[in-house]
Amino acid sequence: MKFYIIDDDPTITMILQNIIEEDFNNTVVRVNNVSSKAYNELLIADVDIVLIDLLMPILDGVTLVQKSINSVPI
């Protein structure tokens, strides 16, 4: 499976990426630490699962999901 990790903390994204790739033999396609840029990438990302931090500055995870839910095919 292909993952996209969106979290403002680079340490968290690194830990999640290591767990996903090493322990579960999946692929992390994208990592983004800036939520305002993540929305545009989310629209074009070819991924199966998106992991989004709920508490981020500028654009929080809940708002990011609400904003993209009508734009991204499920």
Euclidean distance between the first and final Cα of the chain, in Å?
15
CATH for the 2-68 domain, from 1.10.490.10, 1.25.40.10, 3.40.50.2300, 3.40.720.10:
3.40.50.2300
Q: Which residues contact 7 (CB under 8 A, 6 or more apart)?
A: 13, 16, 33, 51, 52, 53, 56
What tokens were used for 37? 């840029």
Structural domain boundaries of the chain?
A: 2-68
Q: Which residues contact 73 (CB under 8 A, 6 or more apart)?
A: none
- Choice between 73 and 70, residue whose per-residue pLDDT is larger: 70
**Global model pTM greater than 0.85:** yes
28-60 confidence digits (pLDDT tens): 989 999 988 898 898 888 889 999 999 998 899
DSSP lists the bridge partners of residue 50 as 4
- Choice between 37 and 73, residue whose per-residue pLDDT is larger: 37
DSSP single-letter state for residue 55: S
DSSP single-letter state for residue 1: -
